[in-house]
Structure 1
Amino acid sequence: MNYNIKLCLLIFLIFAQTAYSKEVLLVISYHKDFPWVIDFEKGFFEIIPEEKTDKVYLNSKHGSSYEITQNIFKAEEIIKKENPQILVCLDDNALEFVCKKYFNTDKKIVFAGINRDKSYYKLEKVNNVTGVFEHIYFEQTFEIIQEAFPTAKKILLLSDKSISSLSALEKCPKTYKSMQITIKNIEFFTDWQKEIKEAQDNYDILIILTCAKIKDNKGNYLHNTDVLKWTLRNNKLPEITLLSWMVKNGALMGVTISGYNHGIEAGVIVKKLLKGFPISKIPYIKYTKAELTVNLKRAKELNIQLPIGILMFANTIN
């Protein structure tokens, strides 16, 4: 009798572990309500059921060093205890501080939103990694600016000082045809406000890469949507953005990438892996779909009439 009870208990424990263990761990560099993360999860969970996935947010944009370290430990504990077969890392910090430790192991690693190139991570020497690189469409952005605003010569590009922003900006030219591009990386909101106000008389176009890591005068991080809202209230230059969520939240236009498309691409890769497809047979994705997006309401506010050729091919937001 005791033997039967023990056997039943053992079967129950095995079943419970199988039922509740997650096959996929999603390690996310940023915080849960970051628009890029929200869009990524929306796309990813259209392909992969959320109940198959565990999640850890490193909060590397807004968290203290202690909090980020604790979140890294949390991810490692889940990997140790739950033993997920697939690690999905969103953006560079997740790959750098968590998933890179499992290179050339039995784990399957899928990345998305990575700004650094293959050589930085020495991926040519790694046999268990694939994923989606984040490609910012700088050249296409400048082509659209030239078409929409042919007299524009002086461009101001503002961004925060996050590692991902600095990595992306390494690929941005300082000149493009007749345009001069001034790049400024901002840490504090007071400096951001100053740059926006001074830009009104000194530049023709404002480009915003990202504003997710901007601090107030007490050193607290502001929500990126609040920074964008202030910018839109105080800026009268045409705003060009490089991330789709900003156009959705009121900026004029952009040749944008979206977290949603990265989520779809990563989800498709994970689905193949769950079906047993060898990771070595899945190539890296260098370019995700670029979307020309125009906010018609903002165009009206700025009294801008965009060329019909742009509007015909753009996704429009009213």
Structure 2
Amino acid sequence: MLLALCIGCATSNAGPLKQVAVIQSYHPQYNWDAQYLQALQDNMGEKCQLTAYSMDTKQLAKSDWPEKAAEIQQSIRHLAPELVIIGDDNAFSLMAESIAGMGIPVVFLGVNGGRAQYPFIDNPLITGVLERPFFVQNIRHMRKVLKRDKHFLILTDDSPTMNNAIGEFFGDARTMVIHGTQVDVLMTNNREQWLHAISSASERGIDAVIVGTHHTIHDHNGQHVSPDTLMNEAWGKAEVPIFSLWDIFVGEHKAAGGFTVSAYQEGVTASRLAMMILNGTPISSIKPLNSLSGHYVYSRKGMQHWNIHLSSLTASQTTFIE
């Protein structure tokens, strides 16, 4: 049975609420989803009735995704919202084009693919926020907080998400000099190789590791390794600091911190685009844009573990965990 979640269910004295559907690739309890759902409610809840549908693709078998997508599409037809917001690639790839085909404007967020993966992204009824990690900002920031800053490693899984992000920024190169620092890139879905890259970083002259997504990594038996398990192992093996491109990977026994993509900020940007459209701006005049604003987020225990100190100015702009 398909369940829809009414987010906030606000009332308004300024007239009827606008009907907006939100389609999640994952589920409301997942930290990424929870943060952007909160942003949508905070920024749209007084003027919109937000109804959320969850595809639950982190727990649902991939073979069942098309059926779940069809169920949600049917519900969208009955709800007849004025606009649909779609979160992340799985839901976007399965539903954005068909919903736009119903004549309903679509605003997306958290989408890592681009035109190569989604030719329909140029549909005049589709726009949104392309999720892009802040490579340059992270390198510049890390050079300020680390005593050794000559050689960094970006370590990610070999997933569509990171292939698109790395390919867009680095092209075919796997090493580059950014602000005077040599930055290498390693993409792998092999647990042993991923962990060895961290445990051997110091002896190879690498001063810090920056992790991207690590959701598609498997062990030598082909068994999937959960991101939390992987990061917990990395924490114990690392002799150099671990930073992150995403805030959801920062915490105790995870990455120490960094200038990160924020699900909440992605939700803020998407909500602003949505309200522009609902207030009369033609969606065809709003082109998809890249992530606009990251934020500093740090684990206090991670900072202590790796002896990281922030300037007073950066600390005043930082969200601290623990």
Q: TM-score range by the shorter chain?
A: 0.7 to 0.9
TM-score if structure 2 supplies the norm length? 0.78
Distance 1:84 1:124, change over 3 A: closer
- For 1:171, the equivalent position in structure 2 comes to 168
1:230 to 213, 233, 249: 233
Q: How does 1:1-318 map to 2 (within 5 A)?
A: 23-49=19-45, 52-59=50-57, 63-103=60-100, 105-117=102-114, 121-122=118-119, 125-149=122-146, 151-173=148-170, 174-177=175-178, 178-202=180-204, 203-216=206-219, 219-249=222-252, 250-275=254-279, 277-282=281-286, 284-307=288-311, 310-311=314-315, 313-318=317-322
Deviations, residues 219-255 of structure 1 (Å, cap 9, x unaligned): 4444323322332233231111111122245522211
Once residues 124 and 70 of structure 1 are traced to their aligned partners in structure 2, the CA distance between those partners, rounded to angstroms, is: 23
Once residues 25 and 223 of structure 2 are traced to their aligned partners in structure 1, the CA distance between those partners, rounded to angstroms, is: 19
Once residues 295 and 272 of structure 1 are traced to their aligned partners in structure 2, the CA distance between those partners, rounded to angstroms, is: 36
Larger RCO of the pair (alpha carbons < 8 Å, separation 6+): 1
Once residues 308 and 91 of structure 2 are traced to their aligned partners in structure 1, the CA distance between those partners, rounded to angstroms, is: 40
Q: How far apart are 1:93 and its partner, in Å? A: 2.9
Distance 1:168 1:34, change over 3 A: farther
Distance 1:125 1:258, change over 3 A: closer
Letter in 2 for 1:175: M
- Alpha-carbon RMSD across the aligned residues, in angstroms, is 3.0
- For 1:3, the equivalent position in structure 2 comes to none
Q: Give the structure with the larger helix fraction.
A: 1
Q: How far apart are 1:315 and its partner, in Å? A: 3.7
Distance 1:166 1:239, change over 3 A: same
Once residues 74 and 304 of structure 1 are traced to their aligned partners in structure 2, the CA distance between those partners, rounded to angstroms, is: 49
Once residues 222 and 271 of structure 1 are traced to their aligned partners in structure 2, the CA distance between those partners, rounded to angstroms, is: 40
Q: How far apart are 1:53 and its partner, in Å? A: 0.8
Distance 1:237 1:34, change over 3 A: farther
TM-score if structure 1 supplies the norm length? 0.79
Once residues 256 and 246 of structure 1 are traced to their aligned partners in structure 2, the CA distance between those partners, rounded to angstroms, is: 9
How many residues are matched?
296
- My pick for the range that moved more, 177-186 or 270-279, is 270-279
Is there any run of 5+ residues in structure 2 with no aligned partner, and where? Answer: 1-17
Distance 1:186 1:248, change over 3 A: same
Distance 1:119 1:42, change over 3 A: same
Aligned residue for 2:133, secondary structure, equals coil
Preserved contact between residue 242 and residue 257 of structure 1 (Cα < 8 Å) = yes
Q: How far apart are 1:281 and its partner, in Å? A: 4.9
Preserved contact between residue 121 and residue 127 of structure 2 (Cα < 8 Å) = no
Letter in 2 for 1:97: L
Q: How far apart are 1:122 and its partner, in Å? A: 4.6
Is there any run of 5+ residues in structure 1 with no aligned partner, and where? Answer: 1-21
Preserved contact between residue 112 and residue 133 of structure 1 (Cα < 8 Å) = yes
Q: How far apart are 1:51 and its partner, in Å? A: 5.9
Deviations, residues 19-74 of structure 1 (Å, cap 9, x unaligned): xxx93332223355443222212212223449631313251x56533132333333
Preserved contact between residue 58 and residue 94 of structure 1 (Cα < 8 Å) = no
Distance 1:99 1:300, change over 3 A: same
Once residues 51 and 234 of structure 1 are traced to their aligned partners in structure 2, the CA distance between those partners, rounded to angstroms, is: 48
Preserved contact between residue 111 and residue 130 of structure 2 (Cα < 8 Å) = yes
Aligned residue for 2:106, secondary structure, equals strand
Letter in 1 for 2:249: M
Once residues 191 and 26 of structure 2 are traced to their aligned partners in structure 1, the CA distance between those partners, rounded to angstroms, is: 20
Once residues 222 and 262 of structure 1 are traced to their aligned partners in structure 2, the CA distance between those partners, rounded to angstroms, is: 27
Preserved contact between residue 256 and residue 298 of structure 2 (Cα < 8 Å) = yes
Once residues 277 and 138 of structure 1 are traced to their aligned partners in structure 2, the CA distance between those partners, rounded to angstroms, is: 32
Letter in 2 for 1:182: D
- For 1:4, the equivalent position in structure 2 comes to none
Moved over 6 A (4+): none
Distance 1:37 1:162, change over 3 A: farther
Distance 1:285 1:56, change over 3 A: same
Distance 1:262 1:312, change over 3 A: closer
